[in-house]
Every structure is written in C-alpha cells, then in structure tokens.
Amino acid sequence: MRYLFLILFLTTGILQAQVFLDADGAGNTYELINSVLAPGFDAVEVPDCNHGAFGRHIDEVFDTDLNTNVFRFFIHASDDDDRCINVDRQRNEIKTYDKSPDNLKGVVGENVEYRWKFKIAAGFQPSSSFTHIHQLKAVGGTESAMPLITLTLRKATPNRLELRYAETTTQVTLTQVDLAPFEGEWVEVVETVQYGETGAYNITIKKVSDGSSLLSYSNNTIRMWKTSADFIRPKWGIYRSLNNPLDLRDEEVLFANFSIMEFATFPVELTNFDAREVEGKRVELVWQTASEINNDYFEIERSGSGRDFEAIGEVKGNRTTSREMDYIYMDHQPLRGMNYYRLKQVDFDGGFSYSDIKAVDMAADIPVVTLSPNPTLDYLSIQSDDEISEMKVFDTRGVDCTHLIRMNSTGSKSMEMNLEVLASGFYIIHIKTRTQGVNVDERGYTQMLHLH
C-alpha cells in the first residue's frame, strides 16, 4: 500500500490581537463603544444633533433569545438625517478610523476576521436606493469615496440583502439573497479578509437558532485594497437613503458580539508561487513578490508526506522594495513519488511566515482524488479515479469525527458528505482507494479540508 498526501487548502498566520465589543447593560453606550473602537475619541456617528429630543440613537437592551445584552440602533423616517450634514440620507453607525488603535485598521498583508450578530424586525422596510448595515471602507487614497465591501438591504420584489463590491470606484453585486429569512431572526456574520492587491474575501451569514446558512461568498483571488489607501476600516449600523421616504418606517436594528481578530502582517506580498516538473527529472519552483519589507531570504522546504518538511535550499530576498520581483529555484534531486514544497520567508529580525503548499508528482501513475468545494460551508463531494474503499474524517487534534457525518455513496468512485454538524475549522480526510483487475492496487490519500 502506498500513501499519497494532498493538501488542497492551508492558511498561515499567527494570531496577533482580538478585540471584543459587547453590550454590558443600559447607560453609557456611546462611552462603551468609544472605549473599544477609539479610546479617548469618538467612533459614533449618530443623528442626535437634529433629533436631540429623542435622546441617544444607540442604547442597550437585554435580549431573551441570546440571553445577553445587545446594542439597539434606532432610525426614524421623518426626524433623522446624516449628522446634520446631509439631509438626503440618514446615518447611525459605529466605526474604526484614524484615531483607532492600529490593530483595528486593515493594512496590506494582514488577515482580519470580523464577526458580529444582527437582527432586523419582521416587515423591515429597506430603501429602494440603499440601506447599508455594514461596510469595509478605505481611508486615504484616490478611491476612498466608494466602499470596498458593502452589505445593503434593498427594496425589491422580493426585498433582498446584497453583498456589494467596488474594485476601484464602480460597484457591483457579488451575490444577493431574499431578505425574508432574515426578518425576526438573529444571524451571525463571519467575514474574513486578506488585504492586498491580490487578496481574499470570505463571508458567511448563518441563523443563530439552527446554524443554517443564509448567505455565503468566497473569493481567494480578489483585489482587497484601494489605490494609495492608508488603511481599511469597518463600519456597522444603519445608513439609508431618503430618496423615497414613503418606502421607509421607523426601524430598530439590533447588533451584538462584535469581534475584530487581526493576524500578523506578512512582510512579503507573494503574488504567485508554482512548482512544476522539468524533463521528468527536476522540479522548478518559481514565485513573484509585489513588495517586500525587511526580507532577508526564502528557505525552500520539501516534504514527501505534506506534513514533515525539511530545508533543501535558500534564495536571497531583496530587503525592502516596492518593485515586482521574480525568483526561481531548481530541485535537481526530487523525491520519487510526491514532492510537497513551501517557502519560508525569513526577515532580518528572525520573523518568518510560510507560503501555501505546492505538490509535484514525479510518478505518472498516481490517480487523482478531488474534494469540492474546498473550502466549504456544510457539503462536500469527493471524486476519485479509482474505487473508494474507505473514508475517515479527523480534526486537527487527531480525533475521529467520522461517526458524526452523514455520508452517501453516489457510485464506487464518488461520495457526498453532509458536514453541518461539525464546527468551523480545518479537518483531515483519509481516503483509501483500490484498483480492480488482475492485481488489486490499494492506495491511501490524506487531504486537508477547510470548513467555514
């Protein structure tokens, strides 16, 4: 029996900081928000100036569904405007901005997770123009007027929630869903971003009550930056148009459990990394960087299993540069069978980070096993060139989770798996296949799965 290890999706990063904003009870709501998002400054944008008789437009109440205190955002159809600045729109938002701590600002190379819950009332009436509840917006640069990412509610037939994106200054809809399933329900949003000219963006919205998915979008090759921006910052609340006031009513939107988790900044923006067989004898590794900061060298690491790596070579970096740089390394004595390669980028101060893993098969007769989609929310399809004889799923601690999963064989070479009972994270799938014929050939495969 021969074992083949394939790693299809792997992210790297060291947890640097996580910030929580949770309601703690009635009173001092603005002060609480500011103490977390911009200590000593003002992270609250409310219409109090024009509607002072109402009082504060954000307060805190106890919610019996979540069994905790939550933030309540008010917006009034006929009384509120945009901070006494604009009268064609209304704004009641919280944000991070230039006065916020650095770990609340997204910059090139950082990986950031934004997580929060929200609830809109039954019969919620959005504007036909826009009713934004979340944005990722640039500060500084030539494209900052148009938000990078927007979650907006829109009057339509039927009403919908839209995920909007602007690569530069023109906005498009990435995906949209019916708004009705959100009404009267607490939902949890998990949004992960890798900031950069070639970045990544992933978002899921699930019902808190049963974990069912209402919206999902993933793109790991998307521009997540704005030209000459200083940083990207998040905003939450209610920001809606008054172009059609008869469409609107007084609304309350509840928010809870804000979290911003930032991962370490990588000093090298790696735009491409590939490995390929050359003349059936050698493996050529090529990669490019868009920028480098304090980059001493790249260490080339190889593994025959995809787990245990060793250094086989080194290529000098270009210290600090904003120019695109090309690199090449030739492995003249690759392993027989599978070869797994990764780059270890090392700073002058000893800090380091890893690239994704690339695999090169130096044996032509090895069949293919694929997982799709990967990453996934709750469903997985497995396809093999050979007959599947055994399937097991383990978490990263080595705990066998197979008995928790519903599996359905759709043929001798294919299988479907329902993973909705598993928590988000990384899992290891062990697959055994066999080739029928004069000689039965059994092989084992290990693939890494990312479950949102």
pLDDT, residue 55, reads 95
Tell me: do 343 and 232 sit in the same domain: no
Residues 6+ apart with CB under 8 A from 296: 316, 317, 319, 346, 347, 348
Tell me: do 147 and 229 sit in the same domain: yes
Tell me: do 271 and 153 sit in the same domain: no
Tell me: do 344 and 439 sit in the same domain: no
> pLDDT tens, 139-152?
999 999 999 999 99
Tell me: do 36 and 100 sit in the same domain: yes
Tell me: do 115 and 258 sit in the same domain: yes
Quick check: is 6 in a domain? Answer: no
Tell me: do 340 and 205 sit in the same domain: no
pLDDT at position 208 over 60: yes
Q: In what order do the strands lie in the sheet with 441-451?
A: 2-7, 441-451, 425-435, 387-395
Predicted model pTM: 0.60
> pLDDT tens, 343-361?
988 888 777 777 878 888 8
Provide the domain count of the chain. 3
Domain boundary among 233, 263, 293: 263
The residue range of the domain holding 120 is 15-263
Give me the residues paired with residue 360 across strands: 339
Q: Give me the mean pLDDT over the 111-139 stretch.
A: 96
Tell me: do 308 and 381 sit in the same domain: no
Considering 104-113, 170-179, 354-363, 380-389, the range whose residues carry the highest mean pLDDT is 170-179
pLDDT at position 217 over 90: yes
Radius of gyration of the chain (CA): 25
Q: Are 228 and 40 in contact (CB under 8 A)?
A: no
Tell me: do 281 and 406 sit in the same domain: no
What is the CATH classification number for the domain harbouring 335?
2.60.40.10
Quick check: is 25 in a domain? Answer: yes
Q: What value does the mean pLDDT of the chain take?
A: 87
Q: Are 414 and 387 in contact (CB under 8 A)?
A: no
Domain boundary among 361, 389, 409: 361
Tell me: do 84 and 147 sit in the same domain: yes
What is the CATH classification number for the domain harbouring 414?
2.60.40.1220
pLDDT at position 1 over 50: no
> pLDDT tens, 253-278?
999 999 998 765 556 888 889 999 98
Tell me: do 131 and 27 sit in the same domain: yes
Percent of the chain with pLDDT over 70: 91
Domain boundary among 333, 361, 389: 361
Tell me: do 144 and 74 sit in the same domain: yes
